[in-house]
Amino acid sequence: MSDPVWGELRVRCIEAQYDEEYLAGPPRTYCKLLLLETFKWRRRQHKTACEGLQPRWNDEFLFEDVCANSKLTIDVWNAADDPEEFLGKATIPLAEVVPARGGAPKAQVAPWFELMPGRVRLELRWTPYVDTERTLLDTPVMLTADDGGAPPPSPLPTGAPAPPPKPVASPAITRVQATSAVGTAAAMGSPGSPMETRMEEPVMPVRPGTAKPTPAKAPEVAPPRKTPQKSPQKSPRTVARGQLKAQEQAYEDDDFEDDFEDDEELFIEYTDRGGSGKENQDAYFVHRFDEKNAVLGVFDGHGPDHGKVAAWAAARAVKAFLIEHFKELATDPEGTMTRCFEQAHNSVFQAISSQPGVRVHQGLLVIDVDEEDWPLGYDAADGGTTASVAALLDGRTLVYAASGDSCSVLGVPSGKGNGHAVTDLVPEHSPTNMHDWVTYLQGTGVHCVFDHEAMFDNQPHNLLPIFTPTPNGGWEIAQSTMDKTKELGVGLKTARGDLAAVIMTPESGKFSQMMLGVTRSVGDFYHQTYGVTWRPEVVVKDLYAECMANDHSDGAVLIVASDGVWDHWTFDGCMEELLLPDAGPPGQPLTTAKRARAFFEKTRDMGEEAFGEGADNLTGVVVILPRPPPPPPTAPTKAGVTRDEFGA
């Protein structure tokens, strides 16, 4: 195997364009750039955030001594919200675009990258080193296709033109950053000198007639972890190999050094559109009232026309409802979450009905189509979303509600180091969910069938129903059916062995046959006439009891994620990846922010390897939950039963 190419990477963040309907208010945005290398993560970010729906930063960032095996990510954040809102990510594996020595680029990436509520425009230039003394080639290689500054292919946000961007100080950059240990000799100083640090301080305004305030004292900087120093006489390849070896020895279970991340962070968020041919139809939110009370949600939209609209409408509605009714969760978790999901369902109806070409006909949402495609001249409008919503009450109680197949898992490491207790909080509401078939779907005329290539030929003969009636009046998934799935080549849906299955409206229905992969959904209004329901399943967990039940564990880790994550992991495998090996005993950290982000990046790579440009959107939130103190003693109460689950 040939040695990797080394060089200098310049990234120019030019501008962004946002869709106004997906933002709660005027945005103030900036970019964070991460260079993910085997031996270190390096960060750059804007010094200012720009206001408006069409901000222009035009800032250039330099990364030196870059190995072409690295990966570049660009995260866009909205500083107008508190806490700041993550708007999306662009990911560029350099190995796919950086040319071999003396060659042309392997490929050119598009200059525009899709975000959740819009798009961002980037320019990448690569200058390879031509010798071991870090001599640069005279002419850099452009890695982004030259579009001449043309607008993106999708339409711009409607409404009045955005005002010129106004630079605003970003609170996110008022923190100490360590200069990269693989930086230039000038940045490092002489070999053996301490690592240089820099602090970007906010400008402190002075009101007329008042004394000038004392500048804020910079926080103390912990001494950097010891890493091999770079000598100007050594080639970058030699230095990198030496650093990698030293890192592996110094940080046994820590593949990445990450000086800038706050490993005390308790909520770690991630979203990515997946394959380059995909629209990111995921949405999510995190709202923290204080360190012990918070709400969050992940929404996986589906439907080619209105999936994104549905996910964003549901996310906004759920967030607003839970902020207003948060206290009610303590006394009526099932009822509060049910009302919340109903509000989200109604909001999705309103959002889709306002889209071009969509109207309400006899109580259903329909969209105008060519009569050659459908004799009525209109068809059922698509659009729905899963909803996975969690609430943390006083750091002690976890309330979780879900509709759809976006799973959430609670992992509790053993307090004695004897493994992890892993709980799938709510089973997937997929077509193989027998409870939902019996309760909501059977008898409505809808088909719950395994998905295979010949299913549309010679209906209904070639349909393979999932459930078979039993002599005693019940239902089962018969062994003969499972044998038939192998014969017909029914594929696997997830790494956990789930078979591909769908809910299909009948061919005799008023509208064209529509398929859906879930038994519960917020939206999907045509399927709701056949028994699909928006109603959530709700569970309540006492976090102190969960920790004590597993050898007095020191805490738990929650992950709420879309199926773009869960398609690739077993639940146990996910927690093995997230939790630190020594997690559980008192005083041991459960996981870190960088470990959680590395998990999501690994998942993204797995999706790309398996599905290429068709890789699904993936979104997730990891929450670190320290064990709460013991509950205070209570007076004796009348005998009764405490239920842990609701909404079954």
Q: What is the pLDDT of residues 506-536, one digit of tens each?
A: 888 888 788 999 999 999 999 999 999 999 9
What average pLDDT score do residues 41-64 get? 85
Q: Which of 23-32, 182-191, 256-265 has the highest mean pLDDT?
A: 23-32
Domains of the chain from N-terminus onward: 6-157+164-201+225-250 (2.60.40.150), 272-429+518-626 (3.60.40.10)
Task: Please give the model's pTM, rounded to 2 decimal places.
Answer: 0.71
Which one has a higher pLDDT value, 236 or 538?
538
Question: What does R_g of the chain's alpha carbons equal in angstroms?
Answer: 27
DSSP state of 85: E
pLDDT class for 142, splitting at 50, 70, 90?
confident
Count of residues making up the chain:
648
Task: Estimate the share of the chain in helix, then strand, then coil, as percent rounded to the nearest 5.
Answer: 20, 30, 50
Rounded CA-CA distance 552/159 in Å is 57
Q: Which residues contact 488 (CB under 8 A, 6 or more apart)?
A: 450, 452, 453, 454, 464
Rounded CA-CA distance 627/629 in Å is 7
Q: What percent of the chain has pLDDT over 90?
A: 45
pLDDT class for 235, splitting at 50, 70, 90?
very low
pLDDT class for 355, splitting at 50, 70, 90?
very high
Q: What is the pLDDT of residue 39?
A: 65
Q: What is the pLDDT of residue 25?
A: 85
Reply yes or no on whether the pLDDT at 379 is more than 50. Answer: yes
DSSP assignment of 172-223 equals GG-SEEEPPTTS-HHHH-STTPPPPEEE-PPP----TTSPPPPPPPPPPPPP
How do residues 423-433 score in pLDDT, each as one tens digit? 999 999 999 99
* Range scoring the smallest mean pLDDT among 91-100, 240-249, 558-567: 240-249
Task: Give Cα 468 to chain centroid, integer Å.
Answer: 37
Report phi then psi at 245, rounded to 5: -65, -45
Which one has a higher pLDDT value, 414 or 248?
414
State whether the Cα torsion 596-601-604-610 is positive or negative.
negative
How many CB atoms are located within 10 Å of the residue 172 CB? Answer: 15
Reply yes or no on whether the pLDDT at 217 is more than 70. Answer: no
Q: Which of 38-42, 557-561, 592-596 has the highest mean pLDDT?
A: 557-561
DSSP assignment of 580-619 equals -TT-SSTT-----HHHHHHHHHHHHHHHHHHHGGGPPPEE
Which one has a higher pLDDT value, 344 or 22?
344
Reply yes or no on whether the pLDDT at 174 is more than 80. Answer: no
Q: What is the pLDDT of residue 498?
A: 92
How do residues 150-170 score in pLDDT, each as one tens digit? 444 443 333 333 333 333 333
What average pLDDT score do residues 319-328 get? 96
What average pLDDT score do residues 56-83 get? 87
Reply yes or no on whether the pLDDT at 236 is more than 60. Answer: no
Reply yes or no on whether the pLDDT at 316 is more than 90. Answer: yes
What average pLDDT score do residues 584-600 get? 89
